Amino acid sequence: MTQKQLDESTAYLIGKGFEQPEIGIVLGTGLGKLVDDIEEPIEAHYNHIPFFPLATVEFHSGKLLYGTFQGKKVVVMQGRFHLYEGYDLMDVTYPIRVMHQLGIKKLFISNAAGAINLDFKKGDIMLIEDHINLQGGSPLAFKNVAKFGDRFTDMAEPYDKEMRTKLTAIAQREKITLREGVYASVVGPQLETRAEYRMLKILGADAVGMSTVPEVIVANHLRLPIVAVSVLTDECDPDNLQPVNIEEIIAIAGKTEPKMVKLFKELIKEI
Ligand code: HPA
């Protein structure tokens, strides 16, 4: 990743009309519907944006959208890049750097995750309060990282406290159950073994998924305030583990999506 590449990606998008977005939004697996509420959308397919990684997973539409959402200019990633698709940590986080260079001031992230904390149920939404990086690497481990921000990026409060407090109040007002907890990121794409679910619980994770943490690390590098939520799509009970059903995971994500959209809508209105 070079500054010149970022400049070319950004110039392409500005040329398409992506002018001064205020908020960046990353939508996770099965969570693409928020884009229906974007007014006057402009689309840029990932495969057309210079230096963007090439999109693969078929249930992701793979595009960047720009438009007005709740009166604010937003840029939305419909579908994200995962390590399990063969991308590296630089690829996965490249779009965050581009959105930052376009001018976003805040980042909203959603994902689908499994519930490790068995007090949480599938269909619940969990506000991510902290994370554990189990992906075996860092998106900041490259030679000229200091040109883009602090090399030793502080991670004492990786998820913005003020937005978390606001979102909690919104959830109460809207009568949406909002859990709060720690998200552990794994590489995937295989699901976890029973022993791994037990380990994750001992480590202090409340949810597990295959994304988000690299993006959050880079957003912290760029000093972008973040709010991130997990849609809990399955319950990871090592003593009663059912074979994974990806269709069901996507279906649960889709069913829970309206609550996630409502939370994001209200928060964007308020900030
Ligand atoms: N593990 C990892 N990623 C996931 C899971 C899970 O159980 N559920 C949804 N994404």
CATH architecture of 3-270: 3-Layer(aba) Sandwich (3.40)
Amino acid at position 87, single letter: Y
Averaged pLDDT score across all residues of the chain: 94
Ligand 1: does its nearest atom lie under 6 Å from the Cβ of 191? Answer: yes
Model confidence, pTM: 0.95
Instruction: Please compute the mean of the pLDDT values over residues 146-152 and round it to a whole number.
Output: 91
Handedness of CA 107, 110, 116, 119 (dihedral sign): positive
Give first-to-last CA distance, the chain, whole Å.
32
Share of the chain above pLDDT 90, in %: 86
Pocket test for ligand 1, best of 31, 118, 192, 229 (most atoms within 8 A of CB): 192
* Torsion angle (degrees, nearest 10) of CA 133, 139, 145, 150: -30
Share of the chain above pLDDT 70, in %: 97
pLDDT of residue 58: 54
SS3 at position 189: coil
Ligand 1: does its nearest atom lie under 6 Å from the Cβ of 215? Answer: no
pLDDT at 269 over 60: yes
pLDDT at 241 over 60: yes
Atom of ligand 1 nearest to the CA of 192: 1
* Distance of CA 179 from the midpoint of ligand 1 (Å): 17
Nearest CA, atom 5, ligand 1 = 114
* Distance of CA 167 from the midpoint of ligand 1 (Å): 24
Nearest CA, atom 3, ligand 1 = 209
Show me where the domains of the chain are located.
3-270
pLDDT tens sequence across 3-40: 999 999 999 999 999 999 999 999 987 788 899 999 99
